[in-house]
Amino acid sequence: MSQKLDSNLTCWVLTNGMAGFEVQGIGIAEALGLTPVMKRVSPSPPWKWLAPHGPAAPDTGIAPPWPDLLIASGRQSIPYARMIARKSGGQTFTVVLQNPRVAPSNFDFVWAPAHDRLEAPNVLSTVVSPHRLTKARLAAEAEAFAAAVAHLPHPRVAVLIGGTNSVYSLTEETAAHIAAQLGAVADSGAGLMVTPSRRTGERQTRILKDALKDKPAVVWDGTGANPYFGFLGLADAVIVTCDSVNMVGEAAFTGKPVHVIELESGQSRKEAKFRRFLDAMYESGAARPFRGTLESWEYEPLNATDEIAEAIAVRYAAHIEKQRSQSKKG
């Protein structure tokens, strides 16, 4: 069965505006063949503090007519998802991405990453997260950036550098160590296509640039179009820091060897979830810890987006059939 829905259906993607949440929601909507309307909420205290358990704060942007399909993601979106499910009289099919931290039975469908260990009849879990990548998009992005890296030798390596978050730390010392390892990879004959992120830090990015300035490497300077997807499409292999589930998962979509740089971690409850995720990625055969040298192996590309969209389409069809049945009885 195709996972596409009727393109005339209305769809909202509801988040607090964080890019990671939005990318996942848009990716699922696009996989379903829908063009979503973006809804961003930013509740003030006390509603912000009470989420996800409390009521939804008044918001003029969250009002009827309610959509046919709602895709909500992030703690602040949950009160609104519950409200829409209730006020629409169950007409809106409610999808939540990520663990809602309230009973999944509040919604029609929940996707949660496997490392969250969330179980319920309407929950689907996958190792990697949904995203907006498709084979066609990778090819198009690769073509757009091919000229910029045409001088680099093969194998060409996409290097995706994240940064410090609530679990991991990318210090200047760590950046220098990574830079030295990347320099050695370049000296071995590889060409490097490096994309720092907003979390990498100015000094850390400078350390990387200085270490690679005389190497066969291109380091994105943060201006112009982001080459992230283009570099992934052009890569023969990928090196990625472990701090982003999305980045590691997107790298595994390429089918190219994914080498994971494990950063230093602090004492955090979230660390155990990352550990479960990374271990699952290693067990899948898509990724291996980066040891300072490139390795070569094959695996079936990981793509949770289509799997999630397919599950939603099946449940949505059952949802419509139930509504029709109830209408006839009424």
**Per-residue pLDDT tens digits for 167-219:** 999 999 999 999 999 999 999 999 999 999 989 999 999 999 999 999 999 99
SS3 helix, strand, coil % of the chain, rounded to 5?
40, 20, 40
The pTM of this model reads 0.89
Question: What separation in angstroms does the CA of 219 have from each of 102, 214, 258, 290?
Answer: 43, 12, 19, 20
pLDDT of 62 above 50: yes
Q: Using DSSP, state whether 189 is helix, strand or coil.
A: coil
Residues of the chain with CATH 3.40.50.2000: 135-289
Predicted pLDDT of residue 2: 55
The class that CATH gives domain 11-128+304-329 is alpha beta
**Would you call 37 helix, strand, or coil by DSSP?**
strand
Range list of H helices, 213-292: 228-234, 245-253, 269-284
Mean pLDDT of 241-253: 95
Three-class secondary structure of residue 261 per DSSP: strand
pLDDT at 327 over 90: no
Q: Residue 171 and residue 163: Cα distance in Å, rounded?
A: 9
Q: 296-326, pLDDT tens digit by residue?
A: 999 999 999 999 999 999 999 999 998 888 8
Name the more confident of 146 and 327: 146
May I ask the CATH class of domain 135-289? alpha beta
114 vs 129: CA distance, rounded Å = 9
For residues 235 and 158, what is the distance between their CA atoms, to the nearest angstrom? Answer: 5
- Listed in sequence order, the DSSP H helices in 75-197 are 78-87, 135-145, 172-187
Would you state the pLDDT for residue 1? 44
Q: What is the pLDDT of residue 271?
A: 87
Mean pLDDT of the chain: 95
- Give φ, ψ of 322 to 5 degrees: -65, -40
Cα atoms in the Cβ-side hemisphere of radius 13 Å centred on 295: 14
Name the amino acid, one letter, at 269: R
Query: For residues 118 and 110, is the Cβ–Cβ distance under 8 A?
Result: yes
Query: Which pLDDT belongs to residue 323?
Result: 86
Segment 274-291 shows an average pLDDT of 96
CA 281 to chain centroid: 15
Q: How far is CA 16 from the centre of its chain?
A: 15
Q: Which residues contact 68 (CB under 8 A, 6 or more apart)?
A: 9, 10, 11, 91, 92, 93
Q: Whole-angstrom Cα distance, residue 94 to residue 91?
A: 9
**Cβ atoms 56, 83 nearer than 8 A:** yes
